[in-house]
Amino acid sequence: MFKIKIVTILITALLVFPSSVFALSMPNLATTATPSAGLTMPSSGNDLAAMYGIDAQAYVVKDMTTGQILINKNANLSWTPASLTKLITALVVLDTKPKLTQVVTMSTADQIAGFCSQGGACIKSKAGVKFTLDGLFHAALMPSANNAANALARSTGLTQAQFVARMNAKAASLGAINTHFNEPTGMDPTNQITAADYVNIVSAAFSNPYLQSIAGLTNFSLRSINNSGYNQTIKNTDKLLTDDDVQLIGAKTGYLDESRYNFAALLKYRGGDNLAVVVLGEPHLYQAFAETKTLASLAETAKYLAIINPLGQVLGASKSTPN
């Protein structure tokens, strides 16, 4: 931690006094150790993130204005998305141009697909209870309700095989070429994404004003059309919504035993540029939030390190951890 503080101070000085940087030898600035501290100046955003000890198994930070990858580790590592799957589900349903007032009757299949009796995240429901499509979108994205996600997929009238085919086609159309889904809820651990792919998915999802409006809510009153006993208040699982340093445009959490905690967000850090941040395989949910914020806070410094160390690398990609 002491070394990290010293590096932060040094980089801050470089940002405040850039003219002094260019009076120095570029290679030496990037690679010369600081003897008193016993550390080496980071030469890329990846080096900097490594010094901060980010625990995620894979992560990517992308500048959405320039399309540049600023920081990454194991960007192409295949990983179980868990409930990150639900953003593709939502996009595919929206592609069918549905009416948000459409009434959907919940089924036993929804409860089974959601593992509702086995501890899976679900809204309070049972076969025969009716909700609007709008309500189900809120339920699938805010508390990550599996039964709601399955009902959304069913609402399209497609078979599950047809719906899954569209999920994979949608992912491919967004440039997610190393991604594959087998069902719409995220409960199947054989669903696979990469962090590099998922920055494109989270960006596309929360470029949609409707999905963005849902993601910005901390709670929502979900009402049944036919049974007031199933009226309920649902809450957003995203804790960065109330963080003063982060302007959250949209985000999604995900957890399975096989994936641990995943988090993906489109955000601005302290009024900076739009960033897509994906962290996969965090040991704790609070850590997923904290490390997302840390990575976002390093984005500007990552850009600057690329300028002062122009060795031909693509910003954060100079020292990407092998997959």
The answer to whether residue 144 is catalytic is yes
- 320, 72 in Cβ contact below 8 A? yes
- 276, 202 in Cβ contact below 8 A? yes
Q: Given 43, 44, 73, 86, which residue is catalytic?
A: 86
Q: Given 44, 144, 203, 259, which residue is catalytic?
A: 144
Upper half-sphere CA count for residue 62 (Cβ side, 13 Å): 22
For residue 136, which amino acid is it?
L
Residue 19, both tokens: 């003219």
- 247, 240 in Cβ contact below 8 A? no
Residue 100, both tokens: 């948000």
For residue 228, which amino acid is it?
S
**Which residues make beta-bridge pairs with 8?**
none
State the SS3 of 66-113: CCCEEEEECCCCCECCHHHHHHHHHHHHHHCCCCCCCEEECCHHHHHH
Q: Given 83, 107, 259, 320, which residue is catalytic?
A: 83
Residue 104, both tokens: 């959907």
Upper half-sphere CA count for residue 312 (Cβ side, 13 Å): 0
Nearest to 240 by CA among 288, 186, 297: 288
In angstroms, the CA 48 to CA 44 distance is: 6
The answer to whether residue 62 is catalytic is no
The answer to whether residue 83 is catalytic is yes
**Catalytic residue IDs:** 83, 86, 144
